[in-house]
Amino acid sequence: MEISSLKEITDFEISFVEKLAESITSQLFTTKITMKTQYLLLQSQQQAEELRAQEEEARQNIEEMQANREEAMRLKSDAMGYLNTVNHSIIRADFSLDGNLEYANTRFLDFFKYKSKEAYSMHVSEFFPDENRDEFMNLWNALLNGGKHIEQKFIHKTKEGTIELLSTYSTVKDLHGTIQKILYLGLDVTMQNANNFDSLEFQAVDKCIIRVELDNKGSIVDVNDMFLSTYGFTKDDIHEVNFEALFSKEDKKEFEKAWQQVNNGQNYETQIKRTLPDGAEKWFHVNYIPHLLTTNELFKVTFIGTDITENKILELQMQKRISEFSLRENELIKKIGDLENQLSKK
């Protein structure tokens, strides 16, 4: 504040002006603080309203996730039903890496004539006659050391005698490729041809999966009804067609990778996404299973596919929702932190 006068300004006038300036300054400062407080209060109310809206949205997301979990449980129940069907159709057992029996289904126990308490912890070699044990253990050790899966007819020793089974021993690995256990699958070939997929043992399973039989060049030899209905083909459409021709340009690399592995006598397992002729997108869990001659040459490949579309969509939706929820949570925490900092500066 500046004051000019044509006469000398007295002390009391100077003092009055100084007090007046202080009063005006104080009033301006108070007004400024009040306006800032009102602004922060309004901002706080707006953010509180946003927080309430986000909390409501988060609650709805949690309810949706709960519904998704229930749907996942239902799908898991369906999968267990499928697994039970397989267990009633195929002889199955799990062995530890030491060769000890850890699990055996009812068909295994029935064929080998053991009760569950008797069979558990038996060594895999005990299911072979004495004269065949050393030969089998050489195959077993090669399998554990990264060799090809074992698939051939064996004479197995049971509690009451012997039985001939078409047996497959293959490794089960975790996501890091570490072997966790050995899976055994067996079919009775005493009375019938084990490769006949029209046998009663396979009818129940064959209705639940997509199956394609390929020769050693990749040409289609046979398919089941599930494959035809899923892809909209007739058997005449795909007879002697190379399986690779059914893949898009982008997916052919995946097929080439699978074929290279089965040519080495190893199973190939993955998940694939396919666009069907009607435009629908489907996810499948697939296995390429090689069949070798006694000379270890590839003579055919079985392609097995299971529709996992519902599970996959549910998995992707849950991943997206969890990611969105995490992002919103971080934004909320940041806003609260900013608000606290602004209020503390007041």
Average of pLDDT values for 141-160? 89
Is there a domain that residue 314 lies in? no
Amino acid 182: pLDDT: 93
Show the tokens assigned to 89: 């159709």
Going by pLDDT thresholds of 50, 70 and 90, the confidence category of residue 308 is confident
Which pLDDT does position 31 carry in this prediction?
Answer: 82
Residues 158-209: tens digit of each pLDDT: 998 888 888 999 998 887 788 999 999 888 765 444 444 445 555 666 777 8
User: Where is pLDDT greater, at 73 or 30?
Assistant: 30
Per-residue pLDDT at 100 exceeds 90: yes
Are 181 and 95 contacting, i.e. CB atoms less than 8 angstroms apart? yes
Specify the residue for token string 């299971």.
Answer: 306
Half-sphere exposure (CA, 13 Å, Cβ side) for 130?
Answer: 0
> Is residue 255 scored above 80 in pLDDT?
yes
Dihedral pair phi/psi, residue 92, rounded to 5°: -140, 145
Q: Is residue 168 located within the same domain as residue 203?
A: no
> 283-305: string of b/e by CB count within 10 Å (b at 16+)?
bbbbbbbbbbeeeeebebbbbbb
274 and 244 within one domain: yes
| Same-domain status, 103 and 179 | yes
> Under the phi-then-psi rule, with left for phi > 0, alpha for psi from -120 to 50, and beta for the rest, what region is 205?
alpha
Of the pLDDT bands very low, low, confident and very high (cuts 50, 70, 90), residue 148 is confident
pLDDT given for residue 241 in this prediction = 83
Residue 108: give its domain's CATH number. Answer: 3.30.450.20
When divided into structural domains, the chain yields a total of 2
123, 95 Cβ separation under 8 angstroms: no
pLDDT, average across residues 7-22: 76
Q: What is the pLDDT of residue 137?
A: 94
Tell me whether residue 237 is in a domain.
yes
The reply to whether 108 and 204 lie within a common domain is: no
Instruction: Check whether residue 178 and residue 206 sit in a common domain.
Output: no
In a domain, 31, yes or no: no
Q: Are 104 and 186 members of one domain?
A: yes
Cα-atom radius of gyration of the chain, to the nearest Å?
A: 36
**Same domain? 205 vs 302:** yes
Check residue 102 and give its pLDDT: 93
Of the given ranges (94-98, 192-196, 230-234, 264-268), which has the lowest mean pLDDT?
Answer: 192-196
Q: Is the pLDDT of residue 154 over 60?
A: yes
Q: Domain end: 136, 161, 194, which one?
A: 194
Per DSSP, helices labelled H in 193-308 are 200-206, 225-231, 235-238, 252-263
β-pairing verdict for 101-104 and 91-95: antiparallel
Of the residues 175, 194, 213, which one is the last residue of a structural domain? 194
Domain boundary among 174, 194, 214: 194
Q: How far apart, in whole angstroms, are the C-alpha atoms of residue 259 and residue 267?
A: 10
Domain for residue 215, yes or no?
Answer: yes
* pLDDT tens, residue by residue, 58-94: 788 788 878 777 776 776 666 565 556 655 668 889 9
Q: Which residue has the higher pLDDT, 325 or 313?
A: 313
At residue 190, the pLDDT reads: 54
* pLDDT reported for residue 78: 60
Judgement on whether residues 204 and 160 belong to the same structural domain of the protein: no
Residue 159 included in any domain: yes
Q: What is the mean pLDDT of residues 113-127?
A: 92
pLDDT band at 5 (very low <50, low <70, confident <90, very high): low
Q: Within its chain, how far is the Cα of 216 from the centroid? A: 30
Provide the domain limits for residue 237: 197-307
Pair (129, 203) in one structural domain:
no
What was the pLDDT predicted at 342? 67
**Structure confidence at residue 191 (pLDDT):** 47
Q: What is the pLDDT of residue 39?
A: 79
User: Are 156 and 96 part of one and the same domain?
Assistant: yes
What is the pLDDT confidence band of residue 300, given thresholds at 50, 70 and 90?
confident
Q: What's the whole-number average pLDDT of the chain?
A: 80
Of 96 and 72, more confident: 96
Q: How confident is the model at residue 319 (pLDDT cuts 50, 70, 90)?
A: confident
Q: In terms of domains, do 229 and 301 share one? A: yes
Residue 22 lies in a domain: no
Higher pLDDT, 333 or 219: 219
Residues 204 and 189 in one domain: no
Q: Does any domain span residue 168? A: yes
pLDDT above 50 for 96: yes
Overall average pLDDT of the 281-301 stretch: 82
Q: Which pLDDT value is given to residue 2?
A: 66
Tell whether 265 is covered by a domain. Answer: yes
